[in-house]
Amino acid sequence: MRGTIVIDEYRCKGCELCTTVCPKDLIHMADRFTARGYHPAVLTDPGVACTGCLLCSTICPDAAITVYREAGAKRAAAVVAPQ
């Protein structure tokens, strides 16, 4: 299953929690500061490894991550998050 995420830098507070849960280790913290003074998280996925597994968005305290998956992966199933 192929997926990706979009991180809203305006919301990201640089807590790094998403980086600790990604099973593919695809998220890292940028060096730069956001306008609000945080280092934002960024997706680095050159190998297109993201599965859209929802783990990062589930732990993100700022609802800053939107998760996408390739169509065809059943939508309903996706909305119900994994246990």
Q: Is 69 in the site for ligand SF4 (CB under 6 A)?
A: no
Contact track, ligand SF4, 25-44, x by CB under 6 A: -xx-------------x-x-
For the segment 29-58, give every residue that binds another protein (CB under 8 A): 35-38, 45, 48, 52, 54-55, 57-58
Contacts 24+ apart (CB under 8 A), 35-42: 35/10, 38/12, 38/13, 38/14, 39/14, 40/7, 40/9, 40/12, 40/14, 41/7, 41/12, 41/14, 41/16, 42/7
Considering the complex, what minimum distance in angstroms separates the CB of residue 56 from another protein? 8
